[in-house]
Structure 1
Amino acid sequence: MMFVTPAFAQGAPANGDPNAATGTAPAGEVHTETGVAHDAHGGGVFPPFDHTTYSSQLLWLVITFGFFYWIMQKVVVPRVGGILEHRHDRIAQDLDEASRLKAEADAAVETYEKELAAARAKAGTIAETAREAARTKAAADRAAIEAELAEKLVAAEASIATIKAQAFAEVGAIAEEAAGAIVEQLIGPKASAEDVRAAVASAKVEA
């Protein structure tokens, strides 16, 4: 879009340009947006500093600002807000999930500790029962062994008494025979069996 400044409009008739009525520039002559002829100002002015274009600059500034404000309000801000809200929801979900997992972990640890304590108590009960059973069995085995030894001792004592009686009986007969032979050797005639038996019995009593 080209803007025609008053300087250009006034300068055209003075030069006798037939295009002045239409407001067009002569052929081969280029004018800027500010509409200031280069030959009129001798080197030109930087367009933003030209006071004659302040109104158009302000108009375009308002239009540009309004356009960018509309873009920010309708596109950028909702999109950024949606991203932030999504991240906020995601963080909240992650925190909830972390809390749930922590609660499950705490419950699992508590259950494990309870089961471990129950297992230890059960192991202690089993060990105590086993020790008690072992003591009872040992006492029963000991009593059985002692009873068996007592029976064997009684039998041994009876056998010893029998053997001793037999030995004494045999010793008595042997003593009677020896005493009869000794008497016969000493005095000549053989002594009677009753006398020898009486003498041996008298010697046993004295012994």
Structure 2
Amino acid sequence: MATETHGAEALSACVDSHGSAVGMPQLCGDWIGNQVFWLIITLVVIFLILSKIALPRIASVLAERQGTITNDIAAAEELKRKSEEAEAAYQQALTDARTEAQAIAQKTRDDIKADLDAAMAKADADISAKAAESEAAIAEIRNSAMENVEIVAKDTAAAIVAALGGKADDAKIAAAVSNRMKG
């Protein structure tokens, strides 16, 4: 029987004589209205809790995260800009240092070349002076040698003539040696 009476009350088809549910109470057609009512109440309470408490907290956390991300991106862009400026300044300083080093090296080369040219000019002047002195000494030696050759030639000619048994006049020997030396 679908409904039985237990004393003065009528029992539902979903409850047995002892008051226990028969089968699954959720599927009992007599209780569907009650279950829908409590379902709607529960969903409204969950919606109100979520919309008033949980969702604002989640939204604030998401907004805070978005703000942090935005600030971090801005800071990263600022640091990137500063690093690019620092790199450009470094490259400029490096270029300036290389230019200055080349200028210093060129100046040093020019100074060394000027010193070398001055030393070479002094050495050339010293060599020219010594060469002039040497040429003067050689000319003097040549002149004295020519005089000595003439004296030796006169003495030798007189000795040869005397050895051959002749008698030579000093004036004739001097004239003969002078003619021969002239060519």
Q: Out of 77, 80, 87, which is 2:65 matched to?
A: 87
Q: Out of 154, 171, 178, which is 2:156 matched to?
A: 178
Rounded to whole Å, the distance in 1 between the matches of 2:20 and 2:153 is 176
Are 1:46 and 2:27 counterparts? yes
Structure 1, 194-203 or 166-175: larger mean CA deviation = 194-203
Corresponding residue for residue 115 of structure 1 = 93
Rounded to whole Å, the distance in 2 between the matches of 1:202 and 1:31 is 175
Q: Out of 175, 178, 182, which is 1:201 matched to?
A: 178
Report if aligned partners of 2:154, 2:173 keep a CA contact under 8 Å in 1: yes
Unaligned runs of 5+ in 2: 12-16
Structure 1, 181-190 or 71-80: larger mean CA deviation = 181-190
Rounded to whole Å, the distance in 1 between the matches of 2:20 and 2:149 is 171
Are 1:139 and 2:128 counterparts? no
Rounded to whole Å, the distance in 2 between the matches of 1:110 and 1:137 is 40
Alignment of 1:143-154 (within 5 A): 143-154=121-132
Corresponding residue for residue 124 of structure 1 = 102
Shift of 1:181: 1.8
Q: Which amino acid aligns with 1:203?
A: R
Structure 1, 138-147 or 115-124: larger mean CA deviation = 138-147
Shift of 1:198: 4.0
Are 1:158 and 2:147 counterparts? no
Rounded to whole Å, the distance in 2 between the matches of 1:151 and 1:53 is 137
In the comparison of the two structures, how many residue pairs are matched? 174
Q: Out of 29, 40, 62, which is 2:18 matched to?
A: 29
Q: Could you report, residue by residue, the CA deviation over 1:21-55 in whole angstroms, capped at 9, with x for unpaired residues?
A: xx698xx73166xxxxx8xxxxx9933x32x762x
- Aligned CA-pair RMSD: 3.0
TM-score under structure 1 normalisation? 0.69
Rounded to whole Å, the distance in 2 between the matches of 1:188 and 1:125 is 88
Structure with bigger gyration radius:
1
Q: Which amino acid aligns with 1:200?
A: V
Shift of 1:121: 1.4
Corresponding residue for residue 44 of structure 2 = 66
Unaligned runs of 5+ in 1: 1-6, 33-37, 39-43
Q: Secondary structure at the match of 1:29?
A: coil
Report if aligned partners of 2:162, 2:168 keep a CA contact under 8 Å in 1: yes
Shift of 1:88: 0.6
Distance verdict in 2 for CA 1:53–1:176, change over 3 Å: closer
Q: Which amino acid aligns with 1:88?
A: Q
Q: Could you report, residue by residue, the CA deviation over 1:161-192 in whole angstroms, capped at 9, with x for unpaired residues?
A: 1111221121121112112223333453453x
Distance verdict in 2 for CA 1:132–1:63, change over 3 Å: same
Shift of 1:122: 1.1
Higher relative contact order (CA 8 A, sep 6+): 1
Are 1:103 and 2:81 counterparts? yes
